[in-house]
């Protein structure tokens, strides 16, 4: 099934599976609408848009961006430089760990 799933289906499927995992582990969360018109222009290009805000008792709120990908040999699923840069920008603007 994974190989047959097109790119447009992978995002929602990844979010669905993460939401299920959060519920199974009884973690509080807020899903964030991903419609582009709901985001401020600062999110286009420089700031990572999270899919969820997750409440972890010992930490507080963290922002999470889900992906539906298999890990590579080194464990990364995203472009490290771009993904880290955008996540750090989100953290500095919103003061929420990503």
pLDDT tens digits, one per residue of 59-82:
899 999 888 877 666 666 556 677
- Asked if 31 and 51 count as a contact pair (C-beta separation under 8 A), the reply is yes
Please give the structure tokens belonging to residue 9.
């289906």
Q: Is the pLDDT of residue 97 over 70?
A: yes
Q: State the maximum Cα–Cα separation within the chain, in Å, rounded to a whole number.
A: 39
pLDDT of residue 25: 95
Tell me the pTM: 0.75
Task: Round to whole Å and give the CA distance between 63 and 84.
Answer: 13
pLDDT tens-place string over residues 8-62: 667 888 899 999 999 999 999 999 887 777 777 766 777 888 999 999 998 899 9
Is 90 in contact with 60 (CB distance < 8 Å)? Answer: no
Give yes or no for a contact between 74 and 68, defined as CB atoms under 8 angstroms apart: no
């Amino acid at each position: 099934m994974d190989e047959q799933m097109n790119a447009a289906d992978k995002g929602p499927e990844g979010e669905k599976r993460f939401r299920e995992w959060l519920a199974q582990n009884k973690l509080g969360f807020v899903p964030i609408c991903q419609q582009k018109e709901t985001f401020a222009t600062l999110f286009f290009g420089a700031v990572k848009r999270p899919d969820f805000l997750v409440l972890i008792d010992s930490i507080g709120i963290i922002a999470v961006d889900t992906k539906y990908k298999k890990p590579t040999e080194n464990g990364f699923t995203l472009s490290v430089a771009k993904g880290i840069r955008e996540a750090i920008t989100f953290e500095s603007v919103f003061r929420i760990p990503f």
